């Protein structure tokens, strides 16, 4: 692949909500950690974290869909605590300020949803 890690990161970030739908239906979520030399590093969270099927989910769901949406040679690695799936030291990710702004917006969305739900009850 002839793309910069930053470009791959942005493309994955853009398409992750679509890919995440399947994982969410099983009580989990996908967290994008970073990209290094065209490899995408994710973490499966919630019910999917540590699940025996997490490797299958990573390859047959997440990687397959991202390959369809972004590039057919994309490699996705679930950082699961094993040495072979470790996050490299010098990977590309967004700055903490950008991540913090994203977290705040998610927090605000949940807060607004709960406020609406509580008012209706």
> 3-state secondary structure string, the chain?
CCCCHHHHHHHHHHHHHHHHHHHHCCCEEEEEEEEECCEEEEEEEECCCCCCCHHHHHHHHHHHHHHHHCCCCCEEEECCCCHHHCCCCCCECCCHHHHHHHHHHHHHHHHHHHHHHHHHC
Q: Residue range 67-81: average pLDDT?
A: 95
Residue 81, in any domain of the structure: yes
* Whole-number pLDDT of residue 121: 55
CATH code of residue 87: 3.30.300.130
Q: Mean pLDDT, to the nearest integer, of 67-75?
A: 95
Task: Please say if the pLDDT value at position 102 is more than 60.
Answer: no
- Is residue 37 a part of any domain in this protein? yes
What confidence category does residue 114 fall into, taking pLDDT thresholds of 50, 70 and 90? low
Residue 44 in domain: yes
Could you tell me the residue range of the domain that residue 86 belongs to?
5-93
Q: What is the mean pLDDT of residues 84-110?
A: 71
Q: Would the pLDDT of 61 be above 70?
A: yes
Domain count, the chain: 1
Span 44-56, pLDDT tens digits: 999 888 888 888 9
Q: What is the mean pLDDT of the chain?
A: 85
| pTM of the predicted model as reported, rounded to 2 decimal places | 0.76
């Amino acid at each position: 692949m002839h793309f910069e890690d930053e470009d791959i990161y942005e493309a994955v970030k853009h398409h992750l909500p679509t890919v995440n739908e399947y994982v969410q239906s099983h009580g989990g979520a996908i967290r994008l950690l970073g990209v290094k030399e065209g490899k995408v590093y994710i973490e499966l969270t919630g019910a999917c974290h540590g699940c025996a099927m997490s490797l299958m989910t990573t390859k047959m769901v997440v990687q397959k869909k991202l390959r369809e949406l972004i590039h057919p040679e994309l490699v996705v690695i679930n950082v699961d605590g094993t040495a072979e799936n470790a996050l490299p030291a010098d990977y590309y990710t967004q700055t903490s300020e950008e991540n913090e702004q994203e977290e705040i917006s998610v927090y605000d969305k949940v807060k607004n949803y709960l406020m609406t739900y509580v008012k209706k009850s």
